[in-house]
Amino acid sequence: MTQVNNTAKYDYSGAQVLVTGGTQGIGNAIANRFSEAGANVFITGTRADTSEYENDLSAFTYLQLEVTDLDAIKQLPEKLDNRLDVLVNNAGASLPGGQSEWDHDVFEQSVNINLNSAFHISHVCYPMLKKSELQGGAAIVSIASLTSFLANDFVPGYGAAKAGLAQLMKTFAITWAKDGIRANSIAAGMTQTRMTQMVQMIPEMNEPVLERTPMSRWGQPEEIAGCAIYLASSDASFLTGQMIVVDGGFSIVG
């Protein structure tokens, strides 16, 4: 496994951050990076409490949340004490084996999880973000995918949702700029997480990934986290409505 050293230092002391799906994978790496930088970090997950997860989540405030439950989403401001500086829309899922996104209901479920939830959560969090005094302005960072612009016939719903997520951030960017809120997305490339573990274990699927990737390896969640913490920082204060691709060069190969 590639070792990632977080050499770039940021100070988020006093900032309040919400990372949806922050219990594992990319979301957990992002939550850890903000916590290490001094932020007060809230994470969401679907299980009853942190004891049901393998990871040590003691550094965060845990909120149980089904991201497709609009009534539960509307309760977020109260749970966050009506204060928020950074929102990371990370929660998402590529539906498990045995389900096909070509099925009408499964397609709709995927779009609800991966796109509609980000709209509802961002919309509910907008009044809090508008009040933020974070240097460089409040920030929304959404985790998109290479399927935002590269087609994959296995996941039509996931791909359509991730493409829509990138476009949604552009819409938030032009609409909420006047309120001091920036909105960007990260197209995460092939990253080593539990969700991609099956691909890594099957040589016929893993080898083409490595062959196409100029850096000849999978990315690490911490490498996506590094981009996320930058996008929320004052170093990126003039950067909004953009999708940053973090994929080891996978997408530039013809």
Residues recognised as catalytic: 158
Q: Nearest 5°: CA angle at 28, between 180 and 176?
A: 15
CB atoms within 10 A of CB 186: 29
Cα radius of gyration (the chain): 17
Render the burial of 215-251: b for 16+ CB within 10 Å, e for the rest: eeebbbbbbbbbbbbbbbbeebeebbbbbbbbbbebe
The helix/strand/coil state of 170 is helix
How distant, in Å, are the alpha carbons of 30, 132, 177, 201, 244 from that of 136? 19, 10, 12, 42, 18
Minimal CA–CA distance to 191: which of 3, 20, 14, 26?
26
Chain centroid to CA 52? 22
